[in-house]
Amino acid sequence: MEKAFKVLIFTDLDGSLLHRDTFRFDEIKDYLKEIISKGIFIIPNTSKTDKEILEFNNELGIKIPYISENGASINGLDLLNKDLPQQLILSREKETLLNIFKKTVSSNLQNKCKWLSEMDEDRQSLILGLKYQKLKSALYRKYTVPFIFNGNKNEKKQLAKILKNKGLFLQEGGRVIHLTDRVNKAKALQVFVRFFKKINKNVITIAVGDNYNDLDMLRTSDFPCLVFNDKFTLDEIPINNLITTNKPSPEGWADVIKMALVKINKN
């Protein structure tokens, strides 16, 4: 018998569902398909671009909704129900963000920001761990601007404070920092759920991440899940009811999801 509630799994990709270095998920592909076949929705919620996530969808072989560029854009709600919108844009375009950045940030701090778009292809590839078409897809951004910051921690805090006063934010991932609008993965999750509740009031959310920029998303979910990352310890993550694993992605993703689903079915 179908349960009255719907389970939505919001997941980061790199280092959470995808292998940290190879970006593959072959080991758990069948498990993903099994989950989806049971009526559970998987929604990538990631810093990746539309093109990158569509490539992931193609590799999975199933069209699924997704949230791209650190919460900037929600796509594919209509895949869940035809009465829902195909796309929701939550961010201003990157050109607007860059104009604000250049007008408000001192030249000293600007010089410490090295934009990936201005680097040669070899340097871009070294930083992102991608080549050829996958590298081009990763750089095809509409709402966020990736860069490397060459200053110290105090200078980074100063930069973040200046930008916050102008409604902009820095989102730190595993490889780069992104200049973003007043958006993040947690806010996009909340917007997604709000629209989904128009067709189904009973929703349970699972969120899976592996890095600092995922923590707000995890806190926003009913069942927060953390995939192993040796960059920090659990003591640094004060999240109640956190589900963890000592396995890295992609196997770690399947590990925490199985534990979360057991908990849900016991409630």
Within-domain flag for 149? yes
pTM for the full model? 0.93
Q: How many structural domains is the chain composed of?
A: 2
Torsion angle of C-alpha atoms 245, 251, 255, 257, degrees rounded to 10: 120
CATH of the domain at 254: 3.40.50.1000
Read off the pLDDT of residues 30-57 as tens digits, 9 standing for 90 and up: 999 999 999 999 999 999 999 999 999 9
What mean pLDDT is predicted for residues 235-256?
Answer: 90
Based on the fold, state whether residues 72 and 189 are members of the same structural domain: yes
Residue 59 and residue 131 share a domain: no
Sheet with 87-89, edge to edge strand ranges? 66-68, 73-75, 87-89
Helix (H, G, I), strand (E, B) or coil at 209: strand
Pairing of strands 87-89, 6-11: unpaired
- List CB contacts of 219: < 8 A, sequence separation 6 or more: 186, 239
Residue 83 CA to residue 62 CA, distance in Å, equals: 20
CATH classification at residue 150? 3.30.980.20
pLDDT, mean over the chain: 93
Last residue of some domain: 130, 161, 180?
180
> Do 195 and 170 lie in a common domain?
no
Indicate if 192 and 224 belong to the same structural domain: yes
Query: Which tens digits make up the pLDDT trace of 112-127?
Result: 999 999 999 999 999 9
